[in-house]
């Protein structure tokens, strides 16, 4: 019999601290396999996405053909704190909820679409709070506008603000909507 086990705990350190049995550690540690986290092997994301789409398309009897290029790009940019299991859950949720044959950007959870601010913490700490808040708000507004095809009324509804408030923000940020010459 072979046992395959995974952990996010440093077992060597746990043995040294007396929190894991040393004899069990050596019984389990015959052929260790180190698998880096998903954020360190982003090239695996398309293959994993295809696998999970096939799996859940079959399970839920939905003819999903794949992801849009924008959705795949968003998945590749995300840091994956929950690793492959998080990717699997997101694809399962998207397959269940999508209406068409392709999972698009607007079918992904918002937390995947928002930029990861952990890498920019030092930069943000040097900004006054109102500027940092304004930058964060602008990023969210722009993501929502992209998701709703630049429809300001729909974006205002999604954001929970009045359309005029949204228009004022866009004017303050000097944002030009695609296809408009204003």
Using one digit for the tens of pLDDT, what is the confidence trace for 48-90?
999 999 999 999 999 999 999 989 988 998 889 889 999 999 9
Answer yes or no: do 60 and 85 share one domain.
yes
Band of residue 91 on the pLDDT scale cut at 50, 70, 90: very high
Q: How many residues does the chain have?
A: 182
Check pLDDT > 70 for residue 121.
Answer: no
| Mean pLDDT along residues 122-147 | 74
The percentage of the chain sitting over the pLDDT mark of 90, rounded to a whole number, equals 42
- Indicate whether 122 pLDDT > 50: no
Sign of dihedral through CA atoms 52, 54, 56, 59? Answer: negative
Assigned domain for 135 exists: yes
Q: Is residue 182 part of a domain?
A: no
Q: Are residues 102 and 43 both part of a single domain?
A: yes
Predicted confidence band of residue 119 (pLDDT cuts 50, 70, 90): very low
In a domain, 180, yes or no: no
Q: How confident is the model at residue 180 (pLDDT cuts 50, 70, 90)?
A: low
53 with 64: CB under 8 angstroms?
Answer: yes
Supply the range of the domain harboring residue 3. Answer: 1-34
Is 71 part of a structural domain of the chain? Answer: yes
Position 160 pLDDT exceeds 50 = yes
CA 94, CA 88: separation in Å to the nearest integer? Answer: 10
* 16/64 same-domain check: no
Mean pLDDT of 19-27: 93
Same domain, residue pair 60 and 14: no
pLDDT band at 120 (very low <50, low <70, confident <90, very high): very low
CA atoms of 47 and 70, how far apart (whole Å): 16
Residue 48 lies in a domain: yes
130/88 same-domain check: no
Residue 141 sits in the same domain as residue 167: yes
Question: Element (H or E) spanning 86, and its range?
Answer: helix 83-97
Report yes or no: 95 and 64 within 8 Å, Cβ to Cβ.
Answer: yes
Where is the domain boundary, 73, 108, 143? Answer: 108
Spacing of C-alpha 86 from chain mean position: 9
Locus of tokens 């603000």: 161
Is position 178 within any domain? no
């Amino acid at each position: 019999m072979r046992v395959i086990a995974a952990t996010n705990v440093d077992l060597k350190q746990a043995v040294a601290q007396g929190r894991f049995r040393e004899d069990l550690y050596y019984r389990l540690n015959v052929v260790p396999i180190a698998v880096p986290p998903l954020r360190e092997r982003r090239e695996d994301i398309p293959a994993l996405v295809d696998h999970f789409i096939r799996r859940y398309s079959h399970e839920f009897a939905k003819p999903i053909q794949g992801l849009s290029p924008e959705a795949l790009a968003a998945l590749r940019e995300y840091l994956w704190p929950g690793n492959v299991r998080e990717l699997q859950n997101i694809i399962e949720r998207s397959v269940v909820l999508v209406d068409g044959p392709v999972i698009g950007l607007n079918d992904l959870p918002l937390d995947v679409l928002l930029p990861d601010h952990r890498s920019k913490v030092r930069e943000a700490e040097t900004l006054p709070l109102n500027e940092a808040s304004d930058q964060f708000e602008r990023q969210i507004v722009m993501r929502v506008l992209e998701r709703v095809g630049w429809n300001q009324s729909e974006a205002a509804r999604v954001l929970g603000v009045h359309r005029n408030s949204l228009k004022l923000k866009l004017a303050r940020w000097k944002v030009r909507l695609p296809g408009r010459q204003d």
